[in-house]
Structure 1
Amino acid sequence: MSAPHGNAASPFRQPRAVWAVAFACVISFMGIGLVDPILPALAKNLHATPSQVSLLFSSYLIVTAVAMLFVGWFSSRFGAKRTLVIGLAVIVVFAALAGTSGSINGIVGFRAGWGLGNALFIATSLAVIVASASGGFGGAIILYETALGLGIAVGPLLGGELGGISWRGPFFGVAVLMAIALVATAVFVPDLPKPKHVTSPLAPLKALRHRGLLTMGIMALLYNWGFFTMLGYAPYPMELDAHQLGLVFTGWGLLVAAFSVFFAPRLQARYGTAPVLYVNLAGLSVVMAVIAAGVATPTVVIVAVIVSGAFIGINNTLTTQAVMLVSPVERPVASSAYGFLRFIGGGLAPYAAGKLADATDLSVPFYLGAATFLLAIPVLASGHGLLREAEQHTDEGESVVPTITPVGKPASGNTPRIIVAVSAQAKAAAIVDAAARLARDTHSPLEVVHVQLTAVVEELAADTETPDQARAAVTAHLDRLAEQGVPATGQILTTVGDHSAAGRVLARHAADTGARAIAVGRSPHGPLTQFAEGSFTTALTHAATCTVVLVAPDNAPRQLTSATLPALRDGAA
């Protein structure tokens, strides 16, 4: 969000620990798409009906859902690294066992074990990457998003290629790749500090008593019902072999990744979370209805499935953001509660779809999926007010994001202040010191705003730092400024989502306090990274009603708006 003057840092210059977990993430994200191309082959070779094969999804997702209630307790009790290693080991064992099985019931059972390992892994992977990253969390998030995109896109392609050789190929492929990831994680990922307190296994269920979290969770359940109906049953009416199915779902996966990472934040910034979700859910309903109506025409199903990837990518990201915005509980607890509900929906849908298809015809499950997408809209609307308030200020005195929390003594006097915005970066102190020189030149008090961001990547969320770490960072800045004789106050800005959202919140805070100027540092990221995560400085400059100044250590400040430094001294800004 701010950085000293210098060349843009590459998000791919990371420690080996980050690369080890990122590789495991690629394989993990391959998990579901890898199996899709071999569904018809499984039914044929194992003499199973589509409804029996669909249990591969149901057992995997239902076990994942139940396990999500306990992974927070497990991780806080045994540590993030041990949780990752155990999760990867469980996946390796059960993926290999699925490949050796000779019956559909055996594979269904082993997929359940695979789901347990998956829950342990996905609940901690993003947090471990963020904690292990060097040079700030921004690059780690981009790397995680890259792993997500590769896994979603390459999974079906690899599944199609291996499935063309044998239906056992994808299972053994996952086992081998995850074994490599397991060794790399065990060797390169250091032991990370455990949380100060152990999370109760009942905490996620208790969290669902909060109306906002429960509402968004039910919406996610309905959405995932439709999503996994499509994923589990669309391969059959396409009438393609494993290789061709792999290519179709690769196209689908590319759209999921692109719209999740690049387009969802842009749409949210322009129109708001709830309006985009309304339109998106309606779009998914239309796509599912098209599949249902054209179920006898393979080309219609193929095109509709690929197009659905755009809607699914947007929905995955914004639904998670909505959950984090309205949840008044800790992020891991909110993620576990939300994961429980959404995976339950995904697990029940293929089973119900199979029973409906057996009793009626193949179009009925898709019509039901279209209906669940539509039903999710009024459920979301029932929590619209909570979501809107969370995106703006506070709700009934309870802290929700975005929030501004004072640190240290409050500001005294009416002199317009200089605000400097920094985040959890290695050289944030240099940015603050450069802003302090500007404050001295304009005879202004300085306010240090430390931005604590909750990163959201598709269906996962992680705090980039703890509240104690954010407060310690602000306190360190204030202590150093006091030694320099610079009057200063501190704030922590907590927000969810991309950097552009934080920029708009800071602009509003500056306007509310009558700030003279806002000082920011240069972004350490290149254009692609800034586009993916949102540009803090661009959003701030567009929204600010005061002067925005770009500062860098050992260099004169450069203003991004039309005001000049003399104008700042005279108070004209």
Structure 2
Amino acid sequence: MSSSTSQYQEIEARSGKSGILNQPIAVWAIVFASIISFMGLGLVDPILPAIAEKLHASPSQVSLLFTSYNLVTGVAMLITGFVSSRLGTKWTLITGIFMIIIFAGLAGSSNAISSIVWFRGGWGLGNALFIATALSAIVGLSRSGTAKAIILYEAALGVGIAIGPLLGGELGSISWRGPFFGVSVLMALAFFFILFMMPNVPKPKKAIPISAPFKALAFPGLLTLGVTAFLYNFGMFTLMAYAPFVMHLDEHGLGYVFFGWGLLLAITSVFVAPKFQSWLGSVKSICIVLTLFAITLLVMGIGADTPKVVIIAVIVSGIFLGINNTLITTAVMESAPVERSVTSAAYSFVRFLGGAAAPYLAGKLAEWYNAKVPFYFGAAMVLIAVIFLFARRHHLAGIDAAESHH
């Protein structure tokens, strides 16, 4: 962030105008586009069983829609800083959105699961350019400091994830292709919103080298949070990619379940997470909510043969994931003394690798053993994340002090 931007934010804070809703139009443009972008993630949840049925694919094959998306997103994160420092924030966002429009439309036009998997990978490339740049842009342009800016970003994430399944369920009940075309149309709206409502943001004076994310991971605090997210993503994406197959609901029903999940995620990320952080501190709070999430996954495994148990557990898990997402993302932004776009890219690269492996592995574990095992495995990985974070908590000793200062 430039010194002039920092001085401007400092003046705003002193004048009492640094509330979370008092933001420049550029921030609201990015938040709007982020909501639509995150809707794209939840849109496909209600149609996973339908795709498996229509295209004669197994759950593990359908889960590759998440695997290709997350894998490409994670790897592409390594180049986002390199690209955005040369194209500029606005045109990097626009490029990412344009790619999502194209590849989501192509996925909806496909007739084979393999083609959709490849197009979801292209979608993931656009997603990487967008989300890494969006987070750093919101933090950099916000008038309210890092913590409140990230709450705004997480709120956009939660609202998008909540609304996405509802729309996906409605469109999916017409055709499994509907949600893919829906993403294209919605992202076209975001494209024009960013194009006309967001001013050009000056490029950084010094271009970011492609090696920057790797160097950032040398900071133990950032590496600790990245590995923690890598591990708990096994639980999160088991829930998102495999749980729909054991709930035995139609597209509408799955849409309502994941709407409830996303709604709780949005509410707790905005209103509950800051209270946890000020009460217990970031590390203790993350350890507690991830332990509760692991217990929820364990309950899902025990009740995998009882759809009502899985349905309730999925919705309740939104509480824990909402709190965790805000706390860990805020901590990441203060974990390394490098540009925020580089920090975000390095962290996202590590965590999305977990999101890439988890969906396919969950489907395979169910095929090899039974429907309970994916949830047990997810719970175990989340508990390992808690142990890992707690063991390395000394690397994050200054996080809460930095957040309080900002």
Normalised by the length of structure 2, the TM-score is 0.91
Is residue 271 from structure 1 mapped to residue 174 from structure 2 by the alignment? no
1:58 to 67, 72, 81: 67
1:291-306 to 2 correspondence within 5 Å?
Answer: 291-306=300-315
User: Cα distance, 1:24 vs. partner?
Assistant: 1.4
Aligned to 1:395: none
CA distance in 2, matches of 1:126, 1:289: 32
The total of aligned residue pairs comes to 394
Aligned to 1:214: 223
2:211 to 166, 179, 202: 202
CA distance in 2, matches of 1:131, 1:317: 17
Structure 1 contact 11–142 (Cα < 8 Å) conserved: no
AA in 2 matched with 1:27: I
Aligned to 2:360: 351
What SS does the aligned partner of 1:29 have? helix
CA distance in 1, matches of 2:179, 2:165: 10
CA distance in 2, matches of 1:12, 1:41: 43
Is residue 172 from structure 1 mapped to residue 181 from structure 2 by the alignment? yes
CA distance in 2, matches of 1:339, 1:103: 29
Is residue 123 from structure 1 mapped to residue 132 from structure 2 by the alignment? yes
AA in 2 matched with 1:257: A
1:248-287 to 2 correspondence within 5 Å?
Answer: 248-287=257-296
1:147-166 to 2 correspondence within 5 Å?
Answer: 147-166=156-175
What SS does the aligned partner of 1:295 have? coil
What SS does the aligned partner of 1:106 have? helix
Per-residue CA deviations over 1:137-184 (Å, capped at 9, x if unaligned) read: 699767645533321211111111111111000000010111121122
Aligned to 2:104: 95
- Cα distance, 1:242–1:254 mapped onto 2, change above 3 Å: same
1:554-573 to 2 correspondence within 5 Å?
Answer: none
User: Cα distance, 1:190 vs. partner?
Assistant: 2.0
AA in 1 matched with 2:405: A
User: Cα distance, 1:295 vs. partner?
Assistant: 0.4
Per-residue CA deviations over 1:85-127 (Å, capped at 9, x if unaligned) read: 1001000000000000001111111000000000101111234
What SS does the aligned partner of 1:58 have? helix
Percent of pairs identical after alignment? Answer: 55
Structure 1 contact 51–350 (Cα < 8 Å) conserved: yes
Is residue 11 from structure 1 mapped to residue 21 from structure 2 by the alignment? yes
CA distance in 2, matches of 1:142, 1:127: 13
Aligned to 1:391: 400
Structure 1 contact 216–383 (Cα < 8 Å) conserved: no
CA distance in 1, matches of 2:266, 2:157: 7
Aligned to 2:373: 364
CA distance in 1, matches of 2:99, 2:265: 27
Per-residue CA deviations over 1:57-98 (Å, capped at 9, x if unaligned) read: 000000000000110110001111110110010000000000
Aligned to 1:86: 95
CA distance in 1, matches of 2:150, 2:396: 24
User: Cα distance, 1:272 vs. partner?
Assistant: 1.0
CA distance in 2, matches of 1:154, 1:373: 26
Normalised by the length of structure 1, the TM-score is 0.65
Aligned to 2:30: 21
Aligned to 1:434: none
- Cα distance, 1:364–1:10 mapped onto 2, change above 3 Å: closer
Aligned to 2:54: 45
CA distance in 2, matches of 1:177, 1:2: 35
1:318-357 to 2 correspondence within 5 Å?
Answer: 318-357=327-366
* Structure whose residues are more often helix by fraction: 2
Per-residue CA deviations over 1:187-236 (Å, capped at 9, x if unaligned) read: 23222100011111111112222222222211110011111011110011
CA distance in 1, matches of 2:376, 2:198: 46
Kindly indicate whether structure 1 or structure 2 has the higher relative contact order, using CA contacts under 8 Å at least 6 residues apart.
2
AA in 1 matched with 2:389: L
Structure 2 contact 154–326 (Cα < 8 Å) conserved: no
Per-residue CA deviations over 1:432-481 (Å, capped at 9, x if unaligned) read: xxxxxxxxxxxxxxxxxxxxxxxxxxxxxxxxxxxxxxxxxxxxxxxxxx
Q: Which runs of 5+ in 2 are unaligned?
A: 1-11
Structure 2 contact 72–121 (Cα < 8 Å) conserved: yes
What SS does the aligned partner of 1:196 have? coil
Aligned to 1:502: 405
AA in 2 matched with 1:30: M
- Cα distance, 1:141–1:358 mapped onto 2, change above 3 Å: closer
Is residue 225 from structure 1 mapped to residue 128 from structure 2 by the alignment? no
CA distance in 2, matches of 1:88, 1:274: 34
What SS does the aligned partner of 2:203 have? coil
CA RMSD of aligned residues (A): 2.2
AA in 1 matched with 2:54: N
Aligned to 1:454: none
